[in-house]
Amino acid sequence: MDLAFVHARIVTPFRIIEDGALVTEGSTIAAVGESAGIAIPARARRIDLGGKWLTPGFVDLLVHGGGGHGFADPDGDGVRRISEFFFRHGTTGLLGALYSKPDPELTADVARIAGFVTGQRSNIWGIHLEGPYINSDLHGAMKAEYIWKPDIRSWERLYTASGGTIRLMTIAPELEGVEEIMRAAARHGVVLSIGHSAASYHDVLNAIDNGAAHVTHMFNAMRPFHHREPGVVLGALLHNELKIELIADGIHVHPAVMKLLYNVKGEGGIVLITDAIRASGMPDGEYTFMDQTIAVRGKRAYLADGTLAGSTLTMEEAVKTMVRQVDVPVTNAIRMATFNGAKVLGVSHRKGILAVGKDADLVVLDPDFKVQMTVFEGEPRFSTL
């Protein structure tokens, strides 16, 4: 059924249309504008939003799991449940993140996620490989012994197992022998993201030349800024070729530092992500992540040694953080959660924007940024309306 949203505050996300209307036809947007100027087809289901926000569906480039399930679980049904969980939180496009594991296990994980991605139309668009070619000194919550030494043959096995569904890969460009992998991945259209890395500033520049265009969870799993020994942080701040991921939960990065990032990179240079783990949406307690026990207390996830281990964030909360704690305009916060991620993946001609002819991926938010409805390619996938 076609849908007609009326009396909405539409965030396109480049502007706000007050008292706006949007009509879907099949899987696409057929009309958008001020309510007074949009004719509502008789066949469409009319939904009066009464001033609620209507935005593009969220795009999240780094998700390990949610709702009690993880992408690295061998249970195939878990992937479907993760998809449903994130529809409830407004995410209409995400990358399933896989962390470093021994070769047979990681290859099996890649093949399993690829089977889901290619087997059905869903909000899981592909795979983000967080590793396995990362710096063992900055392994974060991953087990250091699971990190692979760069070898082009091992990369070729992973990519073949993925059937082309690896869309983004976190990589440490300073590792010996990694350039060959970077070039091969870039030629296949994989977005290369610098992360879990001790790269020097020169290494960062070289990585850009070899296809790097992104930085994984800014400030986390990288050396702090140093004025005499610049590295990934400075490279990310200085170079517009690099878009940066930001976990906007107020835990991984202080709101004042997020404000600095916003002032330097602008609304076009930041991509909001969750880095969510299976504990997202679950009560406090103990869970497993990266083959280790983690404790979740007050939405914070830690290993026993105090290392942050992913997050319990969802994208509507990330948007709320940017607006309420960082003083970012709603339009720009929504852009960071929608259009920018779609642009990184090369699909912003269809996704992450509300305009005629684009995919009808929509989210309805109440004034407190709680998700009221999620529409994926014209089909309601969650609703409390």
Q: Which residues pair with 379 in a beta bridge?
A: 376
Contact 308, 221 (CB under 8 A): no
Helix H or strand E encompassing 21 = strand 16-25
The tally of CA atoms less than 13 A away on the side-chain side of residue 236 is 29
> How many Å apart are CA 94 and CA 354, to the nearest integer?
18
Among the options 60, 203, 275, 359, which is catalytic?
275
Query: Of 189, 208, 195, 203, which Cα lies nearest the Cα of 344?
Result: 189
Contact 382, 371 (CB under 8 A): yes
Contact 285, 302 (CB under 8 A): no
Q: Is 275 annotated as catalytic?
A: yes
Residue 290 burial (C-beta neighbours within 10 Å; 0-12, 13-18, 19+)? buried
Please tell me whether residue 256 adopts helix, strand or coil conformation: helix
Which active-site residues does the annotation give? Answer: 275
